[in-house]
């Protein structure tokens, strides 16, 4: 079993267990990531890939375990961390345009109750330019293609100017040109020392895209450099479907309203 850990990691996930409606969907996920890499989270449908990054971002309650980034709690260093949700998670018929969506990435810099300053608009335009969308800044978002919407989301993340990025399926349902643009942007960010963790679906492109791979199927099958982890044998383990026992136990826990961890006295 390969679980390669790193010294002074950017991200440390320790024995993380997550439940959805009281049903455990991730079991004791434990890994560390070095900085300046592009990492892919790979696994079948329902493996808990999106759940994992949401839990790491503190967007879902954690049943057990902890997460540290830059050796701190997420809430202490949120400006250094960026999250790109799945494209389908929002209503693209919302009455707003591309640049206003990108400006949302600047809300931290702008501060509460204040309007975007010239510098924020410049930063948003610059981010749009990086994803080759500067010509669409004032286009209503419903009129953008799926690939263009995904690039707007990426631009919003760029505008945040973070050090650690989590992206949920940025390559899902995009055209070839968008995929090329996105991977180019991500590669460039990595050379600037940023760390990027991407939930990914397409096994074909894993070797070409990622330096580091996490194989996930309700538990962490393996994590480490792509060459070591992305092997026939480990993929078999990830996609092999021998985990029905885990999901059966999860169903039981949910149905009987069991606590995820027994209460420990004295703690």
Partner 1 sequence: MNDFIDFIFLTNSNVRNVVIGIVLICCSAAIVGCFTFLRKRALLGDAVAHATLPGVCMGFLLSGSKNPFFILIGAFATGLLSIYAVDYITRNSKIKADTSLALVLTSFFGVGILLLTAIQHSGNAAQGGLDGFLFGKVAALMSNDLWVFGITAIVVIIISFVFFKEFLLISFDPTFAKSIGMPVVAIEFLLTTITVLAVVIGIQAVGVILMAAMLITPAATARFWTDKLKTMIAIAILFSVVSGIGGAYISYVTPTLPTGPCMVILMSSIALISFLAAPRKGLLAKLKLQHDNRNRILEENILKALFQMGENTHNYESYISKLDISEKRIFNKGQLKNGLKRLQRKGYLQQKNQQWKLTTQGKNKGQRITRLHRLWEMYLTTYLQLSPDHVHDDAETIEHIITPEIEEKLTEILGYPTVDPHQMKIPYSE
Residue placing its CB nearer to partner 1 in the complex, 106 or 219: 106
Residue placing its CB nearer to partner 1 in the complex, 54 or 129: 54
CB of 168 to partner 1, least distance (A): 10
CB of 151 to partner 1, least distance (A): 16
Residue placing its CB nearer to partner 1 in the complex, 24 or 116: 116
CB of 116 to partner 1, least distance (A): 8
Residue placing its CB nearer to partner 1 in the complex, 12 or 120: 120
Write the DSSP assignment of the chain as a string of letters: --B---SS-SEEEEEEEEEETTEEEEEEEEEEE-SS-EEEEE--TTSSHHHHHHHHTTSS--SEEEEEETTB-GGGSGGGEEEE--GGGS-TTSS-BHHHHHHGGGHHHH-TT-PPPHHHHHHHHHHHHHTT-GGGTTSBGGGS-HHHHHHHHHHHHHHH--SEEEEESTTTT--HHHHHHHHHHHHHHHHTT-EEEEEE--GGGHHHH-SEEEEESSSEEEEEEHHHHS-HHHHHHHHS-TTHHHHHHHHHHHHTT--SSPPPTT-
CB of 36 to partner 1, least distance (A): 22
Residue placing its CB nearer to partner 1 in the complex, 95 or 193: 95
CB of 85 to partner 1, least distance (A): 5
Which residues are at the interface with partner 1 (CB under 8 A)? 54, 57-59, 75, 78-79, 81-83, 85, 89-91, 94-97, 100-101, 104-105, 107-108, 110, 112-116, 140, 142, 156, 160
């Amino acid at each position: 079993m390969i679980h390669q850990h790193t010294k002074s990691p950017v991200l440390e996930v320790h024995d993380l267990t997550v439940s959805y409606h009281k049903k455990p969907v991730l079991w004791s996920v434990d890994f560390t990531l070095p900085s300046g890499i592009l990492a892919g989270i790979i696994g079948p449908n329902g493996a808990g890939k999106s759940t994992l990054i949401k839990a790491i971002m503190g967007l879902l309650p954690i049943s057990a375990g902890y997460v540290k980034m830059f050796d701190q709690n997420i809430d202490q260093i949120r400006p250094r961390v960026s999250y790109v949700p799945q494209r389908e998670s929002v209503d693209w018929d919302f009455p707003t345009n591309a640049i206003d969506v990108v400006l949302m990435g600047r809300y931290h810099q702008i501060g509460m109750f204040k309007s975007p300053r010239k510098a924020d608009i410049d930063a948003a335009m610059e981010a749009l330019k990086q994803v080759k969308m500067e010509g669409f800044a004032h286009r209503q978002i419903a009129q953008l293609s799926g690939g263009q919407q995904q690039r707007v989301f990426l631009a919003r993340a760029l505008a945040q100017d973070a050090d650690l990025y989590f992206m949920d399926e940025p390559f899902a349902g995009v055209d070839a040109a968008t995929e090329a643009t996105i991977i180019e942007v991500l590669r460039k960010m990595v050379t600037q020392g940023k760390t990027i963790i991407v939930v990914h679906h397409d096994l074909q492109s894993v070797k070409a895209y990622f330096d580091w791979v996490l194989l996930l199927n309700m538990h962490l099958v393996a994590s480490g450099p792509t060459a070591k982890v992305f092997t026939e044998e480990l993929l078999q383990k990830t996609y092999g479907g021998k985990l029905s026992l885990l999901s059966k136990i999860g169903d039981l826990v949910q149905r009987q309203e069991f606590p995820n961890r027994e209460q420990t006295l004295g703690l």
